[in-house]
Amino acid sequence: MQDPTASSRIAGFHKLGIPQRIDAVARFAGLDDADRQHLADTGNLPADLAGHLIENVIGTMNIPVGVATNMKIDGRDRLIPMATEESSVVAAVCNAARQCYENGGFTTSMSGTQMIAQIQLAGVPDPEHARIRILERREEIRALCDGCDPVLVRLGGGFRDLEVRVLGTRGGAMVITHLVVDTRDAMGANAVNTMAETLAPHIAAWTGGQTNLRILSNLADRRLARARCVWRLQDLGGAEVRDAMLAAYHFADADPYRAATHNKGIMNGISAVVLATGNDTRAVEAGAHAYAARGGRYASLTAWEVTHGGDLAGVIELPMAVGLIGGATKLHPTARLALRILGVASAEELARVIAAVGLAQNFSALKALATTGIQKGHMALHAHNIAMMAGATGDEIEPLARRLVALGTVRIDVAQAELAVLRG
Ligand code: MEV
């Protein structure tokens, strides 16, 4: 039992070793020995490594990694590792990919691997002049940026472009500088943040203003991943299904309430691959949703049309700031294995695969929603979770889950009653 008066002010908590932190948390929260052992078991992520990835570590959180089969991308078959706690997500990708496999699968492309860092400048009386003065320093800025990361430059990356805008804000006019930097196989946050921080004092000196924020933008619209695919009428189930799917897409594209759910489904697939490869799910999600609203209204990340031949064509385009080097991608043993299973040789290749997964996910969601509804497929898997929540273990789980599906009521109270029957 937790003592409600226990203090969360634990001096030096960050300096403790993991076992001592577990002790402190156990005292605070009233955890028993079994709880402590559970936390101490970090599975296939060594505790030491976990302790170096984030602060104040007391354990790890295992998420299932599934593999999506049937994916053919740019003529090559791929197995796609996906880390997700949500049932039906992996199955959805497999199903969509199976239905377009014979027609050639997915074709992908990418706009580039450029990230944007922003520098905020305020307090200049002549913002238009300041803007031009900054633009005049382009070559100096290039040298300063590239000087921050000679390794990146050696690998073919580095400063690419300079954009400066005068932004009207509630606090008056600000001058916003964008450093456009090719970060190649790195997601690039560290590289561009260092450049922005290095450059900021120079911008302040050149303009007489005050620089404030110096940070990347997650609206990585110089790093757009694209995928397209055609599902043949006979493979997807006929014109009625196709037209219902199209109507579902039209609804999403016209209505932000629906678009949020439509895009959430897309991100089910995308975030699962981003997570499995040790990349930053929040960065990709922020970029995706900001991009979905680029027209001034939040809309669909995919577009669906009927081809000349009457087949269903889908496309997706969204920012995809993922990397192969740096952070958890390089350090997390499961992420490294996921990348080997994927067999990608560059961040661009990874981004393109992820875009294809997003499109596949959307196809399956639209099809399920426009035909039988998602609960039928979802419930079969969900029934296993409910069976376990009701207390079923081992050999009891499967028959109980099947019974719940057969009854058409996948609910915890029904599961408990049925488990009692099963146990006689
Ligand atoms: C559920 O996690 C995702 C869906 O709601 C997506 C959609 O509605 O398109 C099924």
CATH code for the domain of 419: 1.10.8.660
The per-residue b/e assignment along 100-138, b for 16 or more CB within 10 angstroms, e otherwise, is: bbeeebbbbebbebbbbbbbbbbbbeebeebbebbeebe
Looking at residue 1, its pLDDT comes to 77
Q: What share of the chain is helix, strand, coil (3-state, %, to 5)?
A: 50, 20, 30
Element (H, E) at 116: strand 114-122
Last residue of a domain, one of 184, 216, 248: 216
| Whole-angstrom distance, CA of residue 130 vs CA of residue 169 | 17
Contacts of residue 97, Cβ cutoff 8 Å, sequence gap at least 6 = 68, 69, 70, 71, 72, 105, 106, 360
Closest-CA residue, ligand 1 atom 2, reads: 265
Q: Indicate which residues carry an active-site annotation.
A: 86, 264, 280, 378
- Is there a single domain that holds both residue 82 and residue 98? yes
Last residue of a domain, one of 327, 349, 371: 371
- Is there a single domain that holds both residue 31 and residue 142? no
- Is there a single domain that holds both residue 331 and residue 400? no
- Is there a single domain that holds both residue 91 and residue 238? yes
Last residue of a domain, one of 155, 189, 216: 216
- Is there a single domain that holds both residue 189 and residue 321? no
- Is there a single domain that holds both residue 275 and residue 417? no
- Is there a single domain that holds both residue 238 and residue 346? yes
Closest-CA residue, ligand 1 atom 4, reads: 265
Measuring CA to CA, which residue among 148, 137, 140, 131 is closest to residue 192?
148
Closest-CA residue, ligand 1 atom 1, reads: 265
Is the pTM higher than 0.95? The answer reads no
Contacts of residue 288, Cβ cutoff 8 Å, sequence gap at least 6 = 263, 266, 267, 270, 301, 318, 319
225 C-alpha to ligand 1 centroid (Å): 21
Q: Which of 268, 357, 361 to probe ligand 1 with, by most ligand atoms within 8 A of CB? A: 268
258 C-alpha to ligand 1 centroid (Å): 10
Please tell me the total count of domains within the chain: 4
Looking at residue 326, its pLDDT comes to 82
pLDDT 10s digit of each residue in the chain, 424 long? 788 899 999 999 999 999 999 999 999 999 999 999 999 999 999 999 999 999 999 999 999 999 999 999 999 999 999 999 998 999 999 999 999 999 999 999 999 999 999 999 999 999 999 999 999 999 999 999 999 999 999 999 999 999 999 999 999 999 999 999 999 999 999 999 999 999 999 999 999 999 999 999 999 999 999 999 999 999 999 999 999 999 999 999 999 999 999 999 999 999 999 999 999 999 999 999 999 999 999 999 999 999 999 999 999 999 999 999 988 898 999 999 999 999 999 999 999 999 999 999 999 999 999 998 877 777 777 898 899 999 999 999 999 999 998 998 889 999 999 999 999 8
16 phi, psi to nearest 5 deg: -70, 155
Report the CATH number that the domain containing residue 150 is assigned in CATH: 3.30.70.420
- Is there a single domain that holds both residue 44 and residue 186? no
Ligand 1 atom having least distance to the Cα of 89:
2
Looking at residue 2, its pLDDT comes to 80
- Is there a single domain that holds both residue 269 and residue 362? yes
Measuring CA to CA, which residue among 229, 237, 226 is closest to residue 103?
229
Q: Is the CB of 301 under 6 A from ligand 1?
A: no
Measuring CA to CA, which residue among 70, 65, 66, 68 is closest to residue 106?
70
- Is there a single domain that holds both residue 240 and residue 341? yes
Report the CATH number that the domain containing residue 72 is assigned in CATH: 3.90.770.10
Closest-CA residue, ligand 1 atom 7, reads: 262
- Is there a single domain that holds both residue 352 and residue 400? no
Q: Is the CB of 265 under 6 A from ligand 1?
A: yes
Which amino acid is present at 53?
L
- Is there a single domain that holds both residue 333 and residue 385? no
Measuring CA to CA, which residue among 396, 334, 355, 319 is closest to residue 115?
319
Q: Which domain holds residue 384?
A: 376-423
Q: Is the CB of 264 under 6 A from ligand 1?
A: yes
